[in-house]
Structure 1
Amino acid sequence: MKFIHRLGYYLGGFSIGLIVLAFFLSGKKTSCSYGPEARVIKNINSKKLVYSQNAYSVLTQNTLDTTKLNAAIKHGNIIFSKSETRKEPCASYYLENTIDDKNVAITIENCDSIATVTHLKILE
């Protein structure tokens, strides 16, 4: 079989596979969270988020909104060197992001069924 025929069969099968894959994955909430940071953020966002009294007071003092804080958590950067990932019974993660041009540091305690924002600090 000539090379051009083999290439034609390969490209034909590849294109059919792409069409089938696009058909099966369309309409579903599929995502690929391969990195450790993406997996942790996805895990935190899949749970009910509760705010401690300390975090809520910082929110009200700085006139920040919980929806903006949720967006900051969703797109935040986890600093694993400042996190306690092996802490029992709930791991504690340290995130940094910006809200309304303010740098914030967020500490989240990630338990089995609930995630709690324990500390919120406005960085300079």
Structure 2
Amino acid sequence: MAFLRRLGWYLVGLSIGIVFLVFFLKKKSGENGIEFCYFPNCRVLKDMRSKPILFSDDFKSEKDTMLVKSFLTEGDIDFGKSDTESKPCKTYLINHETKNKELILKAQNCTDKIIILSVEEN
């Protein structure tokens, strides 16, 4: 009898856990789902997306803001060439391939804003 009682409580806990897990994974997989960033590339890009974007005076005006946003969503940060120790703003080089061209975005990540310095072809 004690075994059946333990088994019953185990199944109750298991069913509650499964319901929670299904709800949580459904949120993660949806369009408005939860985004998990475990790797440094994803964490830095997510931080940069949450700040307002400013353009430096040297930045050419014909570059589109949608192009910059594509860097911040699909780009790869080159941490070897980036200056992550500079103060007050860290400078990142973000690689992104678009229309068979590899482009490099140079941006400064400050505490309250992002300054786009340049976009160049590699």
> Shared fold (TM-score greater than 0.5)?
yes
Q: Which amino acid aligns with 1:35?
A: F
SS at match of 1:81: coil
SS at match of 2:58: helix
What's 1:113 paired with?
112
Structure 2: runs of 5+ lacking an equivalent: none
Q: Which structure shows the higher helix fraction? A: 1
2:105 equivalent to 1:101: no
Structure 1: runs of 5+ lacking an equivalent: none
Please report how far the alpha carbon of residue 21 of structure 1 lies from its aligned counterpart in structure 2 after TM superposition.
4.3
Query: What is the CA RMSD across the aligned residues, in angstroms?
Result: 2.9
TM-score, reference length from structure 1: 0.75
Equivalent pairs counted in the alignment come to: 115
Distance 1:99 1:39, change over 3 A: same
Kept in 1, the 8 Å contact 2:83–2:91? The answer is yes
Q: Distance in 1 between matches of 2:35 and 2:111?
A: 21
Q: Which amino acid aligns with 1:72?
A: F
Kept in 2, the 8 Å contact 1:69–1:99? The answer is no
Please report how far the alpha carbon of residue 80 of structure 1 lies from its aligned counterpart in structure 2 after TM superposition.
0.3
Please report how far the alpha carbon of residue 53 of structure 1 lies from its aligned counterpart in structure 2 after TM superposition.
2.9
Please report how far the alpha carbon of residue 65 of structure 1 lies from its aligned counterpart in structure 2 after TM superposition.
2.5
Question: How far does the alpha carbon of each residue in 1:25-67 deviate from its partner, in whole angstroms, 9 at most, with x for none?
Answer: 7487522111111110000000001122333x1x62xxx5321
Kept in 2, the 8 Å contact 1:105–1:122? The answer is yes
What's 1:46 paired with?
50
TM-score, reference length from structure 2: 0.76
* Stretch of structure 1 that moved more, 92-101 or 37-46: 92-101
Q: Which amino acid aligns with 2:98?
A: I
Show the 5 A alignment for 1:52-71: 52-55=56-59, 57=60, 60=62, 64-71=63-70
2:76 equivalent to 1:87: no
The sequence identity of aligned pairs, in percent, is 28
SS at match of 2:118: strand
Kept in 2, the 8 Å contact 1:104–1:120? The answer is yes
Distance 1:15 1:93, change over 3 A: farther
